[in-house]
Every structure is written in C-alpha cells, then in structure tokens.
Amino acid sequence: MSISPSASQVPILAVEGLDIEIRGPNGSFPVVSEMAFTVRAGETLCIVGESGCGKSMTALSLLRLLPEAAHVSAGRILIEGADFLTMGERQVEDWRGEKIAMIFQEPLTALNPVLRIGEQIAEAVRQHRRCSHRQAHRRAIEALTLVQMPDPERRAGQFPHELSGGMRQRAMIALALACDPKIIIADEPTTALDVTIQAQILGLISDLQKRLGTAQILITHDLGVVSEVADRVIVMYAGRKVEEASIYDLFDNPIHPYTIGLMGAVPRKGASAEDGDRLADIPGTVPPLWNLPKGCAFAPRCPGASERCRQERPPLTEKRPGHWAACWEHDDA
C-alpha cells in the first residue's frame, strides 16, 4: 500500500490534553496528565519510560479498555477526526479491531484459552465484516499466513496453550490485523520472549506496517527497541510527557536530564567494565503518583536541579524545531 504525501500529513490519531485518574481509598489521583500527541499513517511513535510512568494506561485509554478503577477525566482521543471518548458502546465495539487494535504484552492471557486460534480470528472478522463462516475462516488463514505462522492451516485448529510463545505472539498480531485497522498499539509485545524471537517479532511488525501503511504506537521501556523501529519518541516520567522528538534528534541531542539518564543506562557495543565503561544509573526512585513533588517530578533525582525546578513544574516547550522538552535547565543539561 502506498501512502500519498498529502494523506501522510493528516493524523490518523490525535490525543489532546488527556488526563487519567485512578480512584483509591483516599480519593482519586492522576496517573497520566496533559498527554498530547498525533500519529500519521505509516508512522511509528514509541512511548518510553520506567514501569509505572503511565505509558500502558495511556495505551489502554486509546481503546477505552482502562481498568474499572481508572477513568479519563479530561481530553479527547480523535480517530480520523471523530472523538472516540464520546461514542456509544456499540460504536466503540465496531471501531475496535476495524479502526484501532492492540497487540497485548502476554498473548496467553489475552487470547481465549478455550477457543481455537482460527476461531478467535474468524469471530473478530465476522464481527466487523458481513461474511460467511467459511469466508471468515479463510480470512483467518490469510492473517496467519501474513504473520508468517508456520503451517497456518494446522495452527488455526490449535488452542493457545499448544503454541510456543513466539507463535502465540504471531497469532495475537494476526488477530489484531485481521480487519485491517488504521492504528496498531503494541504494548511491550516482546517482553515475554527470548532475544532471538524478540527480533523476529519486531521485524515482522515493522515489515507488516510498511506493507499495510498502518500507524503504530509502540509502548516499551527498551531504548534498544526504540532505536530500531521508531520515527518519533515520547519520553514519559511520573505520568507526564517530559520530552518528544524524532528518533534521530532524541538520540543525538537529548535535552531532558531523565532522557539523558536513560541513554546513559543503555549498554554500548564494545563497552566493558574492565575498561571503566560502567553503565550509568539514575539515583533515587520514581515518586509515587499520589504524592508528587511540588515542582518538576524529576527534580529530587536530577543532578542539575535548581530551586526553581523544585518549586515550579516546567511546561513542555519547543526547545528546537520539532523537539519538545519540559526542563527549566535544558541548556545546562
């Protein structure tokens, strides 16, 4: 599928001022604040950050699959210009799978354990397409073939527990792609796989995206993965976006001290502890979201934090063309 220059400039997905809160025993507290981004056809946006920073909550909100205790308290999620958050439940069910789909982190829990793989994919196809059972089953085989599933017809007749981890993830991708969605969200899609299978799955997702022109949002904590597949990157910390840039600009010229710390913790090819090439660490711990510091949430861990950082939360501003960061002291960083 080829994407025309004019079409590629129109966002398939636009998130505006998204706030997500969780209800706790002592009241509600924010887990995501003021999140905003766009994704265009054929583009890969990676969202990175430590566990608990809000990236998975952001992903779940895009499909309106937040856990019961969480809710979107402000903002809009626009898919092809329509606000997904204001749609009725019937329309939401129609759009999931057809417009936007998700590849979950652990397919063994995401797939139905009592339905054969082919049945699960065919059921999704029948939900969104007017077709017979035979046509839906044929589409299921096509989807499994598309994701390079070995012996797809036989695998379609098997249950999830009968497949290896890599095959289950391929089945999960086939299920997500079966109805040709415009947007794919992949939440840590290779975490449970060994390194060799990880590379295969990431390569597969990337190849399929290029062939189909699908927009992709990849949720990960692995900067190595980001460097291989991303067009643009959002760095999150304590529920907020602290930096956003193209992949090249972010890796060549990181601005926020947290991003710089993440870069320093990535193993470098050829480095060795004997030569003094030890990985850098970020001192301290992430503050709890229900008790964030007054100013910049990263200030207690930042070696260059000033009094202003401790007292005032920095806004996200454009420091260079197309490169945004939330830091008072970005020149020093």
Q: What is the pLDDT of residue 190?
A: 79
Query: Tokens 């025309």 identify what position?
Result: 4
- The CA distance from 48 to 237, in Å, is 9
Q: Is the pLDDT of residue 276 over 60?
A: no
Q: What average pLDDT does the segment 9-22 reach?
A: 92
Taking only the tens place, the pLDDT of each residue in 124-169 is 999 888 889 999 999 999 999 999 899 999 999 999 999 998 899 9
Contact 185, 102 (CB under 8 A): yes
- Under DSSP, the state recorded for 82 is E
- The CA distance from 191 to 112, in Å, is 20
Q: With bands split at pLDDT 50, 70 and 90, how would you rate the model's confidence at 332? A: very low
- The CA distance from 118 to 274, in Å, is 52
- The CA distance from 187 to 60, in Å, is 9
- The CA distance from 31 to 28, in Å, is 10
Q: What is the pLDDT of residue 26?
A: 80
Q: Is the pLDDT of residue 307 over 90?
A: yes
- Which is nearest to 261 in space by CA: 294, 232, 286, 293? 286
Full-model pTM: 0.89
Q: Is 62 helix (H, G, I), strand (E, B) or coil?
A: helix
Sheet holding 240-246, edge to edge: 100-103, 183-187, 215-220, 44-48, 232-237, 240-246, 323-325, 317-320
Q: What percent of the chain has pLDDT over 70?
A: 92
Q: Is 246 helix (H, G, I), strand (E, B) or coil?
A: strand
Q: What average pLDDT does the segment 257-265 reach?
A: 89
- Which is nearest to 119 in space by CA: 103, 140, 150, 98? 140
Q: What percent of the chain has pLDDT over 90?
A: 64
Taking only the tens place, the pLDDT of each residue in 19-38 is 999 998 888 899 999 999 99
**Residue 275 CB: number of other CB atoms within 10 A?**
8
Q: What is the pLDDT of residue 7?
A: 43
